[in-house]
């Protein structure tokens, strides 16, 4: 394989090859004699390089040349002469049958000394290198400063995120406490409503007993009427036996008949009064008990709602507890779907997927307090007793986990 003739040029330093522009081969620039670049191109063996073209490509635009323009000087016997215009040029050598090869960059000034192409190529000048180096250094400095500012901003943002996260945790803890307090208040309200319902039931039973007493009185009046009828029969017998006493017997008969009639009327009046009294007692006691329960629960709901509204950590759990408490004012009867309880679900008895589906059997629930049942309550007197039947669904998040399970607001679904 043929070796490129420039690979053997020892006088030209390949490390300094740069780019050129347009050169006008003219002897004067603004009336000043231009520097002359002349010499003989030789290879490494010192032999002239024939059929070579020297190309000078302008790298910048000056008052004499235009950037990217090219000047060519043919060299037949290796000798060359160039009267160069001031500027910066990329030097390219082209030999017939070989591709052009860049050999370096030269800087030509109006006061440059005459010299060979090798002289210009081997001159080390920092005039063009320093600005580029300084520019790169300035760019690196600016990037470093920008990175420092960005890091500082990121640090401040991270600190703010930490502060916000701590505040969110504190708010969540406070909301949990408020929800627990509201749940306790709801349980106490439910228990108070249960006691009120029990007292109302006692009053209703007393009214029924009074009605029974009135009915007994009416029976006594009926017995009096029967006694009067017996007296009437005796009077008739006396009339038969004593004709002389007929007038008196007649009077006694009339009196007895009148007494019997009055006694019968009194018995009917007493019976009707007893029935009316019993109906009135029941009709009065039951609505009054229901009204009292609704009033007490509504008052508790209003107080809880006012307290929750004024609390800074008003949470979704508290709102849900209030809504559930409002529903308790009109709850279904005992054992009916829709009854509510505030209960403790035992993990050992609950369905395996309770925490996922939220449903379990009633025998896994210890009731703390709730709605539905007699007087609007389904509840047990002792904590460990589990009287519930059917299926139940958790209607809230856990109010707190304890030993063996957790507390929930539950609703009967079956």
CATH number reported for the structural domain that contains residue 99 in this entry: 2.60.40.1120
Query: What pLDDT is attached to residue 83?
Result: 87
**What's the pLDDT band for 324 if we cut at 50, 70, 90?**
low
Q: Does residue 91 carry a pLDDT above 70?
A: yes
Asked whether residue 338 falls in the same domain as residue 290, the answer is no
Asked whether residue 113 falls in the same domain as residue 211, the answer is no
Query: What pLDDT is attached to residue 158?
Result: 84
Residue 326 resides in a domain: no
Residue 208 resides in a domain: yes
Maximum C-alpha span of the chain: 196
Q: Does residue 185 carry a pLDDT above 80?
A: yes
**What's the pLDDT band for 270 if we cut at 50, 70, 90?**
low
Q: Check: CB of residue 228 under 8 Å from CB of residue 263.
A: yes
Q: What is the DSSP string of 383-398?
A: TT-----SEEEE-S--
Asked whether residue 79 falls in the same domain as residue 123, the answer is yes
Residue 156 resides in a domain: no
Q: How far is the C-alpha of 300 from the C-alpha of 308, rounded, in Å?
A: 12
Question: What are the pLDDT digits (tens) for 288-304?
Answer: 544 565 566 567 657 65
Q: Check: CB of residue 231 under 8 Å from CB of residue 411.
A: no
Q: Does residue 22 carry a pLDDT above 50?
A: no
Asked whether residue 259 falls in the same domain as residue 338, the answer is no
Judged by average pLDDT, the poorest of 53-57, 251-255, 377-381 is 377-381
**What's the pLDDT band for 14 if we cut at 50, 70, 90?**
very low
Query: What pLDDT is attached to residue 136?
Result: 73
Residue 165 resides in a domain: no
Average pLDDT of the segment spanning 307-333: 56
Asked whether residue 92 falls in the same domain as residue 195, the answer is no
Asked whether residue 15 falls in the same domain as residue 84, the answer is yes
Query: What pLDDT is attached to residue 410?
Result: 84
From 310, 343, 371, give the residue that closes a domain: 310
Asked whether residue 339 falls in the same domain as residue 289, the answer is no
User: 393: which strand partners?
Assistant: 359, 411
Q: Count structural domains, the chain.
A: 3
Residue 57 resides in a domain: yes
Q: Give CA separation, 67 vs 16, 54, 64, 112, 254, in Å.
A: 20, 17, 10, 20, 154
- Rg of the chain on CA atoms, in Å: 59
Query: What pLDDT is attached to residue 18?
Result: 31
Asked whether residue 351 falls in the same domain as residue 302, the answer is no
Asked whether residue 299 falls in the same domain as residue 358, the answer is no
Query: What pLDDT is attached to residue 44?
Result: 86
Q: How far is the C-alpha of 128 from the C-alpha of 117, rounded, in Å?
A: 19
Residue 235 resides in a domain: yes
Name every residue whose Cβ is closer than 8 Å to that of residue 224 and which is 6 or more positions away in sequence: 263, 267
Average pLDDT, the chain: 70
Question: What are the pLDDT digits (tens) for 351-371?
Answer: 989 888 999 998 888 877 655
Query: What pLDDT is attached to residue 296?
Result: 62
Q: Which of 18-32, 237-251, 386-400 has the highest mean pLDDT?
A: 386-400
Q: Give the count of beta carbons closer than 10 Å to the beta carbon of residue 367.
A: 25
From 106, 129, 152, give the residue that closes a domain: 129
Verdict on whether the full-model pTM lies above 0.75: no
Residue 164 resides in a domain: no
From 281, 310, 339, give the residue that closes a domain: 310
Residue 182 resides in a domain: no
Asked whether residue 348 falls in the same domain as residue 305, the answer is no
Q: How far is the C-alpha of 403 from the C-alpha of 156, rounded, in Å?
A: 43
Q: What percent of the chain has pLDDT over 70?
A: 50
Residues spanned by the domain of 355: 331-412
**What's the pLDDT band for 408 if we cut at 50, 70, 90?**
confident
Alpha helices in 311-339 (DSSP H): 316-327
Asked whether residue 303 falls in the same domain as residue 349, the answer is no
Q: Does residue 327 carry a pLDDT above 60?
A: no
- Residue 331: strand, helix, or coil: coil
Average pLDDT of the segment spanning 375-399: 65
Asked whether residue 295 falls in the same domain as residue 336, the answer is no
Query: What pLDDT is attached to residue 92?
Result: 93
Query: Which tokens hold the place of 193?
Result: 């409503």
């Amino acid at each position: 394989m043929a070796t490129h003739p420039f690979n053997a040029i020892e006088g030209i330093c390949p490390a300094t090859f740069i780019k050129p522009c347009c050169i006008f081969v003219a002897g004067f620039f603004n009336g000043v004699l231009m520097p002359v670049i002349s010499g003989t191109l030789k290879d490494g063996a010192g032999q002239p390089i024939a059929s070579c073209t020297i190309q000078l490509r302008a790298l910048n635009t000056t008052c004499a040349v235009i950037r990217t323009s090219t000047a060519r000087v043919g060299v037949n016997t290796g000798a060359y002469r160039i009267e160069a215009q001031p500027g910066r040029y990329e030097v390219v050598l082209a030999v017939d049958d070989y591709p052009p090869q860049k050999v370096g960059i030269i800087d030509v000034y109006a006061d440059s000394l005459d010299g060979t192409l090798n002289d210009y190529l081997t001159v080390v000048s920092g005039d063009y290198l320093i600005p580029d180096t300084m520019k790169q250094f300035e760019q690196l400095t600016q990037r470093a400063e920008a990175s420092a500012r960005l890091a500082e901003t990121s640090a401040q943002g991270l600190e703010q995120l930490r502060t916000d996260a701590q505040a969110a945790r504190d708010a969540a803890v406070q909301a949990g406490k408020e929800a627990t307090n509201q749940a306790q208040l709801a349980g106490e309200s439910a228990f108070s409503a249960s006691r009120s319902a029990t007292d109302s039931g006692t009053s209703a039973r007393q009214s029924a007993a009074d009605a029974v007493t009135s009915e007994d009185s009416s029976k006594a009046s009926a017995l009096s009427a029967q006694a009067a009828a017996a007296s009437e029969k005796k009077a008739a017998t006396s009339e038969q036996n004593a004709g002389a006493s007929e007038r008196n017997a007649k009077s006694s008969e009339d009196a007895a008949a009148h007494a019997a009639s009055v006694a019968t009327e009194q018995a009917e009046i007493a019976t009707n009064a007893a029935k009316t009294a019993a109906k009135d007692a029941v009709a009065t006691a039951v609505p009054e008990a229901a009204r009292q329960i609704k009033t007490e629960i509504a008052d508790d709901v209003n107080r809880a709602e006012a307290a929750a509204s004024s609390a800074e950590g008003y949470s979704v759990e508290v709102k849900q507890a209030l809504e559930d408490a409002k529903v308790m004012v009109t709850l279904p009867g005992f054992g009916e779907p829709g009854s509510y309880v505030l209960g403790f679900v035992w993990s050992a008895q609950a369905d395996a997927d309770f925490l996922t589906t939220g449903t379990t059997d009633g025998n896994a629930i210890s009731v703390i307090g709730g709605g539905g049942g007699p007087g609007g309550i389904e509840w047990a007197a002792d904590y460990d007793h589990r009287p519930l039947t059917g299926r139940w669904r958790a209607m809230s998040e856990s109010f707190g986990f304890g030993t063996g399970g957790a507390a929930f607001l539950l609703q009967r679904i079956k």
